[in-house]
Structures are given as structure tokens and as C-alpha cells.
Amino acid sequence: MSDQGGDALVVEAPAYRRMATGSDLQLGIAAAFITIMIWASWLISVKMGVASSLTTFDLALMRYAAPALIFLPFLYRSWEKVRTVPKRILAGMVFGAGLPFFFLSSAGMHHAPVAHAGLLIPGTFPLFVTAIAVLVYKEALSKQRFIGLALIATGVCALVGLSFFNGNQDIWKGDLYFLAASFCWAVFTICLRVAGLPPLAATAILGLVSTVLLLLLYTLGVLESGMRLASIETLTGQFIVQAILVGLLTGFTYGFAINRIGAESTAAIGSLTPVMATLAAIPLLSESITMASALGIVLICLGVFCASGVKLPRKK
């Protein structure tokens, strides 16, 4: 992969699909599993957050400010490498996992249940990743990946369509927000892999830019805070999930998994996220599994696994 600032998306081979071997492979898989467990807890946390006095500004500030401050030394050490990354790639990283992603996800939580968020955000981003691979990298689409993408698309149509035709218009609106957030995350994933930056330095950039934008919007009166009205228990719980688990820990584990096993293999493991989020939402949020959710889980999880490019065993 080129480190020069010329044509950013021209690489020798699809770098985001290269797979590690041996201990690197095992560590990459472990990092991916840790990431999806935190993802599921984040979805639950955001749903609880939007139902409290906390605003999206509060949740986003917790999410981005801590890694911006703590990982700043790693950004300083890697600054020369950061300077070689094309500006549009850095912008794609910040746009993809920064404020647009966070605000779209939070907006969707006002309308749809956690089960839909778990399905549509991590479940459909392989669809967008593959679309970028085909359109930008001119990559061929194998039969296995095509079947996987078809299953994902069918699962999305079943989930959104059944909600719409059942008269659940608010849920349908939330699903659209989640799909938009999923596209943002796909852009981030591709740009992160192409940039090739150390995970903690990339997390610092994301956190720093997002925090500056948040404070600017708050100063201008565009965003408001509700922290003064929130209880200590609510603030503590949100800080642990948003700042420590998501902001600090996944900044390393997700970047590590992407760099070791590639975007699509990480997506295959990530297909477990909606299952974990849906099951956790039953006791924690008193949500129930609808027919649309159950059908979506089966189709999207199977689709993500196939579309990830994981080699399936062949009959001898």
C-alpha cells in the first residue's frame, strides 16, 4: 500500500482484505470478539442515554474527549506518518466514525429498538464495504460474496418492510438512520485500513477533531447539555461505556483487528453483534424479539458471514 499523498485509493492489492497468520491471526480474532461485545454494550448504552436527561452532545463528548486527551501522545509520535496520509482519507476516517455516525445512531435510537440498531449498523456495513471495493478498487464479486450480499439485502428489506407495512412508521424512520450510520462506518473502515495508521494514533485523530467540533457547536448554541439533570449513576454508567470501553478500548481493538485480519473478516465476526445486542436488550430494556427482528437476524448474520470472504469448506 502506498504511503504517498498522491492517488489515495490506488493500492497494489485490496489491502483491507489481507489476512494475518499464526499468532497475529489469533490476536486479531480475539480483538474482533472483544470489539463486538463492546459494540453490543454501546448500543444498549445509547438507547438508555437517549431515554434519560442526557443529550446526544453529552454522550458524544464522553465518547470522544477521553481518547482525544489520553491518546494524544501516540498521535504526536506518529505525526510524520499522519502527514503522509492524504487529507481525504483522514476526512473519511473522521466523517465515518465521528459526529455524523454518532448523531445518526442516536437519532435512530429515538425511533427504533436496539435489535434493529444491532442488525442494521454492524450488519449492513459489509454491504457498503463491498460496494466501495467494487466501485473504487474495481474488485471482482465472487459468487459466495454475491450470495452473502443478497442475504443481507433480503434481511434489510424484511426488517424495514415488515415494520413499515405493520404501521410502525417511527421504527421505519429509525431504520433509515441506522442504514446511514452503517454507510458512515463503512467509509471509516475502508479509510482506516488504507491509511495504515497505528490504531491509537487513528483514535486520537478521531477523538480530537470530534471533540473540537462538539465544543464549537456547543459554544455557538447549536447543541445543548443535560448533564446537570442526570443522576450520578447515569453519568457513571455512560462514562464507563462511552469513554472507557468504546472511546478507549475499541479504539485499539477494532483498529488492531482491521490491521490483522482485514475489514471483511472482522465483519464476519461482527455478525454476532446483533445477536448479542438483541439478547441483552430483552432483560435490560424489556424489548421483545419480533418476527421481523428474528428473520432479519438470521438473514443478515448469514449474509455477513458469506460476504466476508471467509472460505467455506468444499466437499472432496
Supply the DSSP string of 73-107, one letter for each residue.
HHHHHTHHHHHHS-HHHHHHHHHHHSHHHHHHHHH
**Amino acid, single-letter form, for residue 172:** W
Let me know if 219 is exposed, middle or buried by CB neighbors in 10 A (0-12, 13-18, 19+): exposed
If one counts the domains in the chain, the total is 1
- Quote the pLDDT of residue 29: 84
pLDDT tens digits along 24-67: 778 888 888 898 889 889 999 998 988 889 999 999 999 999 99
Output the nine-digit C-alpha cell for 297. 437476524
What span, in angstroms and rounded, lies between the C-alpha atoms of 304 and 125? 9
Is residue 9 domain-resident? no
At residue 269, the pLDDT reads 75
* pLDDT tens per residue, range 67-86: 999 999 999 999 999 999 99
Q: Is residue 7 part of a domain?
A: no
Q: Under a CB-based contact definition with an 8 Å cutoff, are residues 105 and 117 in contact?
A: yes
User: Does some domain include residue 295?
Assistant: yes
- Say if 246 falls within a structural domain: yes
DSSP state of 314: P
Tell me whether residue 1 is in a domain: no
Asked if the structure places residue 195 within a domain, the reply is: yes
Tell me, yes or no, whether 10 lies in a domain.
Answer: no
DSSP 247: I
**Separation between Cα atoms, residue 72 and residue 54, nearest integer Å:** 27
Instruction: Please give the grid coordinates belonging to residue 7.
Output: 492517488
Q: What is the pLDDT of residue 20?
A: 59
Domain extent, residue 107, equals: 20-307
Beta-carbon neighbour count of residue 53 at 10 Å? 14
The label of the residue with cell 459466495 reads 144
Specify the pLDDT at position 263: 66
Within-domain flag for 312: no
With a cut of 50, list the residues of the chain below it in pLDDT.
1-17, 316
